Amino acid sequence: MAKRRCNKEGCYAPNDFCLVLAGPLHEQCQYFANAGIVEAPAKTAKKLGAATAIPWTGEWLRPEQLDLLTHRGTPKIIGLVGSSGAGKTTYLAMLYSLLFNGKRIENWDFAGSYTLDGWELQAKTLQVQEDGTVRNPDATPSDKDFYSLYHFALRHDGFLHDILFADSSGEVFSKWADNVNDPAAENARWIYENAHAFLLFVDCEAIIRQRGRAGSDIIQLAEQVKSGLRSRPVVIIWSKADLAQQMRENIVEVIKRSLSENFPGAVSLEISNYSKSDSDQLCHINNVGVTKTVLDQLANPRPLHIAPAVIQTDDFFFLYRGSYGNK
């Protein structure tokens, strides 16, 4: 197609924009007016377009796609750990819905996302349908190669932080809790090795239904999380807490004792996705509160207290403390 083109050297403004007149005024620009008609290289452009691979789908990221973010810093990964059906995916859907509806994570401002489609997809499932029901997110695939990393860029203290929430199906974490080397728990292993912090889900509904069995599963999972935790923060989430009153006290006591032994000082929050009012404590405040707690802990890691080891030796080299006293 024949097209008039600007001939000003060094002007790389888009076709309908003028650098000299600073705006969409290209037709008034002398360089544009004097320019000859050129043949637009339509076919070449099409070919170039076809060769450009889009590096991500916008739904969720996989570990090998993280170089999209690593050029601007180290993304912080928050691993969601819990049994199947504990409410991990619904938590993410609810978090996004709350932020989308104007709730804020205090001191952490939303600054973009590479996975908006993924967030939207999950959040849509929480919207009330025409028949008045809510669908809830689809079960997360239990495939060991399935990774879903949901991204937020957040501004905190004047810096941009890339945060990734790592979701997986609950089955993989149950398998991993049984045997960390289980070949079917590859994504649980990846999350455990790479996450900078964890959200550990305790499913109130499972405790009501399965009682002691759910209790021992949670304790086994907690012990496995503790085993190679180092100083990474853990926030404990009692999910589906709208049902919390129905849990047997003795089982709750045993679980709480184990959690406080494994994660001393860890913050515990009860959440629910069923709100009774706006602003509901369990739904609106605590869901956001979980993310705020974990983000604050990531931003201000607990200082390491390293006590110098007392050296007990007769070796003169180690005992030498300088010659200042002799001067």
Ligand X SMILES: Nc1nc2c(ncn2[C@@H]2O[C@H](COP(=O)(O)OP(=O)(O)O)[C@@H](O)[C@H]2O)c(=O)[nH]1
Nearest C-alpha neighbor of 215 from the set 257, 266, 160, 182: 257
Please tell me the distance from the alpha carbon of residue 96 to that of residue 104, in angstroms, as a whole number. Answer: 11
Q: Which of residues 87, 118, 215, 233 is near ligand X by CB under 6 A?
A: 87
Residue closer to ligand X, measured from CB, 90 or 293: 90
Q: Which of residues 97-136 bind ligand X (CB under 6 A)?
A: 136
Q: Binding of ligand X at residue 88 (CB under 6 A)?
A: yes
User: Distance between CA atoms of 239 and 203, rounded to whole angstroms?
Assistant: 5
The region of 43-51, 58-66, 82-90, 318-326 touching ligand X under the rule CB under 6 A is: 82-90
275 is a contact residue toward ligand X (CB under 6 A): no
* Closer residue to ligand X (CB): 32 or 238: 238
Q: Does 233 bind ligand X (CB under 6 A)?
A: no
Give the shortest CB-139-to-ligand X separation in angstroms. 6
Shortest separation between residue 79's beta carbon and Mg ion, angstroms: 13
Q: Which stretch binds ligand X (CB under 6 A): 19-27, 55-63, 215-223, 270-278?
A: 270-278
Residue 281, both tokens: 């404590």
Amino acid at 2: A
Q: Does 297 bind ligand X (CB under 6 A)?
A: no
Piece in contact with ligand X (CB under 6 A), picked from 69-77, 78-86, 107-115, 149-157: 78-86
For ligand X, which residue of 11, 21, 229, 243 counts as binding (CB under 6 A)? 243
**Contact between 274 and ligand X per CB under 6 A:** yes
C-beta of residue 106 within 8 angstroms of C-beta of residue 46: no
240 lines the binding site for ligand X (CB under 6 A): yes
Residue 239 CB, shortest distance to ligand X, in Å, is 6
For residue 234, what is the enclosing H or E element? strand 234-239
Three-point CA angle 164, 170, 174, nearest 5°: 120
Judged by the rule CB under 5 A, the positions of this chain that interact with Mg ion are 89, 140
How near is the Cβ of 242 to ligand X at its closest, in Å?
A: 5
List of residues 6+ apart from 188 with CB closer than 8 A? 81, 168, 172, 173, 175, 176
- Apex CA 136: angle with CA 286 and CA 233, to 5°? 35
Chain center to CA of 212: 31
CA proximity to 229, closest of 81, 115, 51: 81
- CB closer to ligand X out of 86 and 98: 86
Nearer to ligand X, 32 or 201 (CB): 201
CA distances to 23, 28, 29, 38 from 7, rounded to whole Å, are 17, 14, 10, 10
Q: Which residues contact ligand X (rule: CB under 6 A)? A: 82, 84-90, 136-137, 139-140, 170, 205, 240, 242-243, 272-274
